[in-house]
Amino acid sequence: MTLTAGGRGGKRRPKFVGVGVIVIGAGISGVTCAGELAARGVDVVLLERAGDVGGRLAVHRHDGRPADIGAAYFTVSDEEFEARVRRWRRDGLVREWTDTLAVFVAGTRGADSPGPMRWAAPGGLRSLVTESARDLTVHTRREVREVRPGPDGRPRVDGEPCDAVVVAMPDPQAARLLDPHTAAGAAVADREWDPVLALTLGFAHRDWPELPAAFVNDHPVLSSVADDGDRRGDGAPVLVAHSTGALARAYDAVPDGATATMTAAVRRLLGIGAEPEWTHQHRWRFAAPWEQREQAFHLDDDGIGLAGDGWGRSRVQTAWLSGLRIGRELAGRLGG
């Protein structure tokens, strides 16, 4: 992976004249799209606002140890994604975690919920994006201001032409870049997404009932809790709790203000006597869309495309497939 930084602190923004495709957003969807294009011989660069790739497959590191603070896991039901997961497993990047999650209703644990195998990553789910971006050119800390159709039929990214552009991010973020009068702008206009607060809690020792993770239903504060030591396979006494959308909205301006409330709720839910030794709070303003789409991606004749987990059921597999399929479609249009 070739990483360059620019676009902030007065640094000159890099130019991309002559580039075939610009992909904006280096989460799993954007990186997969760029990888598919590159594999088919299309010139492509990735622009990422943050300092690293990963998007919502994010980790928080405490004393060097990663904890997943974005997606909790992924499941597999598509043959192409299954083939990719087999390669990740061969390379030691993923492991089968659990096919059964606990369920709490109104604060009381009920019957466990069996389901599909949930997969986890010993190095954190971000490691899958990092590996997928290994041979790509990624410009980090590059905040795009606008994407517009061009008068010559080629789209413009901050005024610079390219053959096509893919905006791979949640709809509300994409809407800020797009002209609402274009088809792409209209496709993401007024799409509501739920926020989530992700609280990581590190304890001196494990002091809770055995459970890989739990759905928390009918609770005013929590929506899920995951045992990150069980998920990672190292047994570390670390939990990651996700809030309800209502709590995240209430503390949108000051997410750290929700830490005490969430910590108390986790301790009460799991019967933990001790206070955590450390906590870390992260706000996801756009965690999941309210409504699902049937399409896997959006692509106009003007060369402006949209991809991500908002195109289909909001899952890691959805985001990966969205990137793969729009990359494949674009490559075909561009002769790759």
Task: Please say whether the beta carbons of 253 and 162 come within 8 A.
Answer: no
pLDDT tens, position by position, 221-243:
999 999 999 999 999 999 999 99
Q: What's the pLDDT at 3? A: 59
Which residues does residue 178 pair with via DSSP β-bridges, in sequence order?
147
When computed from its CA atoms, the radius of gyration of the chain, rounded to whole angstroms, is 20
Task: Please say whether the beta carbons of 97 and 25 come within 8 A.
Answer: no
Q: What's the pLDDT at 15? A: 52
For 264-312, the three-class secondary structure string (H helix, E strand, C coil) is HHHHHHHCCCCCCCEEEEEEEEEEEECCCCCCCCEECCCCEEEECCCCC
Q: What's the pLDDT at 10? A: 37
CA 47 from chain center: how many Å?
16
**Residues 322, 324, 326: CA angle, nearest 5 degrees:** 65
Task: Please say whether the beta carbons of 317 and 76 come within 8 A.
Answer: yes
- Parse the chain into domains and list their residue ranges: 2-56+128-191+292-333, 72-124+192-289
Q: What's the pLDDT at 8? A: 39
According to CATH, the topology of domain 72-124+192-289 is Polyamine Oxidase; Chain A, domain 2 (3.90.660)
pLDDT tens, position by position, 243-292:
999 999 999 999 999 999 999 999 999 999 999 999 999 999 999 999 99
Tens of pLDDT along the chain (336 residues) come to 665 655 433 344 445 545 799 999 999 999 999 999 999 999 999 999 999 999 999 999 999 999 999 999 999 999 999 999 999 999 999 999 999 999 999 899 999 999 999 999 999 999 999 999 999 999 999 999 999 999 998 999 999 999 999 999 999 999 999 999 999 999 999 999 999 999 999 999 999 999 999 999 999 999 999 999 999 999 999 999 999 999 999 999 999 999 999 999 999 999 999 999 999 999 999 999 999 999 999 999 999 999 999 999 889 999 999 999 999 999 999 987
What residues contact 92, with CB distance under 8 A and at least 6 apart? 122
- Cβ neighbours, 10 Å, residue 26: 31
Amino acid identity of residue 281, one-letter, is Q
C-alpha to C-alpha distance for 327 and 333, rounded to whole angstroms = 10
First-last CA distance in the chain:
21
- Report how far apart, in Å, the C-alpha atoms of 299 and of each of 18, 35, 65, 87, 323 are: 21, 18, 39, 29, 12
What residues contact 299, with CB distance under 8 A and at least 6 apart? 305, 306, 326, 329, 330
Q: Which of 22, 63, 60 is nearest to 240 (CA)?
A: 60
Q: What's the pLDDT at 79? A: 98
Helix/strand/coil percentages in the chain, nearest 5: 25, 30, 45
pTM over 0.75: yes
Task: Please say whether the beta carbons of 285 and 195 come within 8 A.
Answer: yes
Please state which CATH number belongs to domain 2-56+128-191+292-333: 3.50.50.60
Q: How many residues comprise the chain?
A: 336
C-alpha to C-alpha distance for 182 and 7, rounded to whole angstroms = 26
